[in-house]
Structure 1
């Protein structure tokens, strides 16, 4: 389980729906958390898969972790992995490559 900044963020970022397996299909899903990059985003419900990256929690106002997206690409490049054409190791998909999450 991922520790989020507050109970409200934990509820929204970890929300599951009995009707929709994909949060982008669920009109009640508000927040997408991407553990691979440690990014939070507000889901844009327009039929696509867009989310607007946010830097602060909408509920408690705390600063959210800095995105690790650039570092993710740099680390894969260092390992000789092209994420567009090669298989990406599982630890790069779920955030394990980052180590423990800061509190």
Structure 2
């Protein structure tokens, strides 16, 4: 489980709306968080699921974690898994895979 930088970020990332299904369609949702990649982003409310990456918390100003996107793809490749066509193991669908030490 990821520790977010401040209580305001926790409230944003953990917010659930009882009127909308998902943060991309809720106009009150501001920040999205992808646990797989440890990426934060400002949600683009244009009907899709896009977001604009952010690297500092808008509330406390702390630097946010470095993206693990490349490492995620590298680890899947190392295991012989095609992320575009293969089945992604459950531990790679959230941040559990990060417990695996990076390999050179």
Offset of residue 10 of structure 1 = 0.4
**Which residue in 2 is equivalent to 1:3?**
3
Offset of residue 14 of structure 1 = 1.0
**Which residue in 2 is equivalent to 1:35?**
35
**Which residue in 2 is equivalent to 1:44?**
44
The answer for unaligned runs of 5 or more in structure 2 is none
Offset of residue 2 of structure 1 = 3.1
Offset of residue 25 of structure 1 = 0.7
Aligned-partner SS, 2:41: strand
**Quick one: distance in 1 between partners of 2:3 and 2:74?**
25
Aligned-residue RMSD, C-alpha:
1.2
Superposed CA deviations along residues 44-95 of structure 1, whole A, max 9, x for unmatched, are: 0011110001100000000000000000000000000001000100111111
**Hey, which bits of structure 1, 4+ residues long, moved more than 2 A?**
none
Aligned-partner SS, 1:41: strand
TM-score by length of 2: 0.92
**Which residue in 2 is equivalent to 1:26?**
26
TM-score by length of 1: 0.93
Count of matched residue positions in the alignment of Structure 1 and Structure 2:
100
The answer for unaligned runs of 5 or more in structure 1 is none
